[in-house]
Chains A and B, each alone.
Chain A
Amino acid sequence: MNRAIRHTWVAGVAIFTVLLLALTYVQFFAARTLEAHPWNNRSLYDQFGADRGAILVDGDPKASSEPSEDDFEYQRVYADPLTYGHLTGYFSLVYGATGLEAALGEELSGASDEQFYDRVVSMFSGNQPTGASVELTIDPELQQTAADVLQGRKGSVVALDPETGAILAMVSSPGYDPNELASHDSGSVIAAAERLNADPEEPLVNRAVAGDLYAPASTFKIIDTVAALESGDYTTETLIPNPQELPLPGTDVTLPNFVGGGCTARAQADLEFALEQSCNTPFAQIALDLGEDRIRQTAQAFGYGEPLSVPLKVTPSIFPEELNDAQLALSSIGQYDVRTTPLQVAMTSAAIANDGVMMKPQLVETVRSADLSVIDAFTPEQLRRSTSADVAETVTDLMVEVVEDGIAQGAAVPGVEVAGKTGTAEIGSEEGLNDSWFTGFAPADDPQIAVAVVLEDVDVATGSTQTTTGAKQLFEAVLNK
């Protein structure tokens, strides 16, 4: 019988071994997969139970954790929700986290590698671990100005510091109230989410960096200009035929010039005039002359097709491939399948402003642990050289003319040289409505701010006026400080 007892014991050893292996699999090898599982709200619960760090703008919390009396220890509260909602995102039991709440989740919850020591300390002291707070690069006045420019209409504003890449303002409109989604009452959260998702104005989409993207329209002509100058085939002196309508090769369609501008005045245009009045036909010819690849290469040099995280995830802008001549002509004026984000447009201006060097856009100024020690601080990073300093200077001069003499005069700030470019994207609406753009920077000789403003579904005149004057307000908000 002892043999059987020993064998049974050995079977017991085997069973315990199998159990330990099973546990090792679940708790070690499969742990990451399980933790990332969409049904696993546990990390959210963990974070709700912890004192999550605040998201601060100029010292003011825009997202913070307040002690709560319900099942969870803390309730996330958002200040100025309509203005900052797309930056902070929400931190929802039901829908998880979005925006910076998601992108900076580790820091805010205290789970980042840099906070390991703090976690060890809190483990032994028995205290709840406390998350780090995050200070943003956002300028609160500028952010408010940007929100005022949009007035809740569909559109977006992005403002950058061209020299550092710091994001000074980023607004997507219409906004939404993340407090509704961060509530611990899942019934009301689900109702709010259903309402927001059903809203045709798509308030949950952060248009500045994501969503369906925009056609850049004439703002893309900046890239055409750079491509033309870099090619060596074109100088500011070069005269380009400026027909009022360019027959698109291989089609019955013609490409007209911008109706609102003064293009009719000249049959031939140099780059200055073409840009000033935003004439389509010269740029279409430039593109057809240089070819699809050079235009795309220049677009890529300005960040098209490149992934980016600021740390909000930015949807890469698109310059389409395998174009026929007609499509290339349309693409050169930022139509057809060219798609971009307001951030990309602002980055393009910023790169021109910064002598052709594109800085990495960043939203985070500092990350401070609970004891206020700085875990991470803003350092400017060069993303890429988009073009040479010479070309950048030439394009700057051209863009200054656009604001001084051209169709973007609304953006002019008295006493300051402003560089800019408008755009009007035809979106095929029956009422003749367009997406209206302005991008530019100021002052032209010592740039402190680069902006992109886009308004959706406006008529040509209104759009042009409002985007340019909006930009002017933004420039003034920064320059008058």
Chain B
Amino acid sequence: MSAPAGTLPREEQVEPRQKPRRLTELLLLVLAVGIGVGANVLVDPEQLGSGDPHLLVSGLVLGIGALVLHVVLRLRAKYADPYVLPIVVALNGLGIAMIHRIDLTTDQTAASSQVVWTAFAMTAAGLVLWFLKDHRVLRRITYICLLLSGLLLLLPLLPGLGLELNGARIWISVGGRTFQPGEVAKITLAVFFAGYLSTNRDLILLAGKKVGPVRLPRFRDMAPMFAAWIIAIGVLVFQRDLGSAILFFGLFVAMIYLATSRLSWIVIGLLLVAVGGFFASQAFGHVAARLDSWLNAFDPEVYNRAPGGSGQIVQGLFGLSSGGLFGQGLGQGRPDLVSYANSDMIMTAFGEELGLIGLSAVLVLFFLFVTRGFRAALGTRDAFGKLLAAGLSAVLVLQLFVVVGGVTRLIPLTGLTTPFMSAGGSSLLSNWIIAAIILAISHTARRPVVTGPATEADLAEVAAYEAALREAARRDDQERAERLERRRDRRPRKETDGSGEDTAQADGAQADGAQADREDGATAPRSDASDTVRRPAVSADTAATEPITAAGPGGRRDAEDADHHGGTPTEAMSRLTDQDRRDPGGSRSTENGGAS
């Protein structure tokens, strides 16, 4: 994570830890597109000579899309995580290959529409990255997002617009095309939760009566929890979609835990799931049928029951088992024997044709993706961004758990798409947007600022750094005094923040400038050494929308200063909580740091 402290030459300590690593990304993208195109060739080698445009079109979409997104990242989010985009491109390409492969044996044309949606989703991701320079903009639309979520979830219930397929009413049909608004609601709900919780988590944490060792939150602070529960149950009751219900509720439980660090929320959440699940299994035939298909999958009566029998899960298990360790090879299995093999059950198709090894590799790709998401959450400096990135990552983990757990009969099978892979435009679109948001957050996380992760080594590094600064300060005491004098004359109220406020509206170029300053300061300690330190500490963008003070060495003063100059009382409180609550001793570098 960070270099051993104290022993480093001074130059390296001040240098940015994060390089943009866009070249790494480009090379990985070549590999990822290669994997996607290669898989598309392997599923049907005969298409090479047949004039079937699928390979060319899908290859071009993947290649050009990846390249365009790469350029967008270079221009707008230079420090974004270099692994996220290649992982997503590879998963998307594999998904297209499998969908095409299943088309070949089932006379569907899902692949061409998936390619179109890929282009569309990549464009959407590009637009998000281009315009969402700072993810904290999203915080301003916290309640709009709540409204949007409700609207999106209600849409399928509207007569004339909603569409019921296979017993679930989660689609809308516009001009002959179907769309699953619930997929997008996943994002808007995450934004709402992140916004709400980053603002109110102190109230949830601190207000309320204390009963024994547990502080019970006030009801009005608990209300959103119940709202989420009601939304989940509502989805379950009115849309008959167990998978989405689990996902929405899991998202909220995960995010409230992330916001409060209290396991009790998870316990409460699980209890509510148990109560809700029991209630649902008693009250709703389709839930009971799901449970029955899970528990008694190999009962002939259950197997042959239509609809709602266990045929799908049993056939999926047969598919997985026929894949064995090494798989049948792409294009050589019979994944089409499983119903919905190209959407809900696409993991069984991969398991069959790529085997345990191949499917594990796919899972590892997902794991890397969510790990990068959590990494971005750790690295970014604002509570909202942390919650959003970690929440979106957590919801992907949960989604994979529901999908893979379902097909392996670990848990009851519920209809959920596999992110980036399953056929389905809404899923692809929303997951690409999630990837874009995580990329944007990772950019702010990895942008060069002097940060101090809380490890022993890092604390030592900070100490060494401070010692170096003191040394420099002592040497150029006189000059420094003069400089400070001049600054005080110019802006008396904001002296301690130094030039940080200058760059309040900063964009990347200015951030680069700040970095250049820092490098100067490092290679040749100057009289304004303390400014050099502080400027990157209060990063330009951080100050822009939420003047959370980042901790530089000796940064405790910054936090106090922050109170003086801006933000609503709530924001100030949340800042304090962000920065100080846990580590009032000043090593709040924990909160800021550790981006790698």
Contacts and interface: CB of A to CB of B under 8 A. Distances in A.
Interface of A: 1-9, 11-13, 15-16, 18-20, 22-28, 30-35, 37, 39-43, 45-46, 49, 71, 123, 126, 128
Contacts of B105: 71
Given A16-B363, A42-B337, A6 B408 contact: no
B355 interface: yes
Contacts of A37: 298, 318
A126 B314 contact: no
B405 interface: yes
Interface stretch (B84-92, B175-183, B322-330): B322-330
B334 to A, nearest CB: 5
A128 B332 CA distance: 8
B321 to A, nearest CB: 4
B320 A1 contact: no
B403 to A, nearest CB: 9
User: Which 10 residue pairs of A and B lie closest in terms of their CB atoms, listed nearest first?
Assistant: A34-B321, A22-B408, A31-B321, A27-B356, A126-B45, A4-B261, A9-B374, A12-B397, A19-B404, A22-B410
A5 B258 contact: yes
Given A4-B259, A5-B378, 4 more contacts: A1-B259, A5-B390, A9-B393, A16-B400
B590 A2 contact: yes
A12 B394 contact: yes
A1 B261 contact: yes
Range class of the B interface residue count? 35 or more
Nearest to B591: A2
B363 A20 contact: yes
Given A8-B257, A8-B390, A26-B317, A2 B324 contact: no
Contacts of A126: 42, 45, 331
B151 to A, nearest CB: 29
Interface string B59-89: 0000000000000000000000000000000
Interface string B328-351: 110111100100000000000001
Contacts of A6: 374, 378
Nearest to A48: B334
Contacts of B405: 18-19, 22
A27 B359 contact: yes
A25 B258 contact: no
A125 to B, nearest CB: 9
Nearest to B46: A126
Contacts of A32: 321
B108 to A, nearest CB: 14
A134 to B, nearest CB: 23
A31 B367 contact: no
19 contacts: A2-B378, A2-B386, A4-B257, A4-B258, A4-B260, A5-B386, A5-B390, A8-B257, A16-B397, A23-B320, A27-B321, A28-B325, A28-B356, A31-B322, A34-B318, A41-B337, A42-B319, A42-B334, A126-B45
Q: Which of A19, A22, A27, A126 has the most CB of B within 10 A?
A: A27
Which of A6, A32, A33, A34 has the most CB atoms of chain B within a 10 A radius of its CB?
A34
B413 interface: no
Contacts of A24: 356
Nearest to A27: B356
B347 to A, nearest CB: 9
Nearest to B393: A12
A1 B324 contact: no
